[in-house]
Amino acid sequence: MPVNEQITDSVTQVNTKVVGETPAMAMGNVLMSTSQALGNSGHGATNNLQQASITMQAATVQGINSIMSTGSAIVGRSAEEIIEKN
């Protein structure tokens, strides 16, 4: 049974279109994947900086609490030694 030439021509054009668009679609997918990975990396870095800042602040507070809980005579003596060195 013969197939209408218009149908075979249409199928050929669609196949040609798909083959022609494939490299551009692949490149678009690569660029989208790369940009998403870079975005995730940036968000991760920001989160890590925030967590590090919280940890450093907690360490500072613990250090100040240690200094403040030490007897005033010891703090005064330490301050005196620091002042004498300068």
Q: Identify whether 6 is part of a domain.
A: no
Site of tokens 């995730």: 40
Parent domain of 63: 47-86
Q: Identify whether 86 is part of a domain.
A: yes
Q: Identify whether 61 is part of a domain.
A: yes
pLDDT at 49: 96
Q: Identify whether 82 is part of a domain.
A: yes
Report d(CA 22, CA 1) in Å as an integer: 33
Q: Identify whether 35 is part of a domain.
A: no
pTM confidence score: 0.52
Condensed to tens digits (0 to 9), the pLDDT of residues 30-49 reads: 999 999 999 999 999 999 99
Q: Identify whether 5 is part of a domain.
A: no
Contact 67, 75 (CB under 8 A): yes
How many domains in the chain? Answer: 1
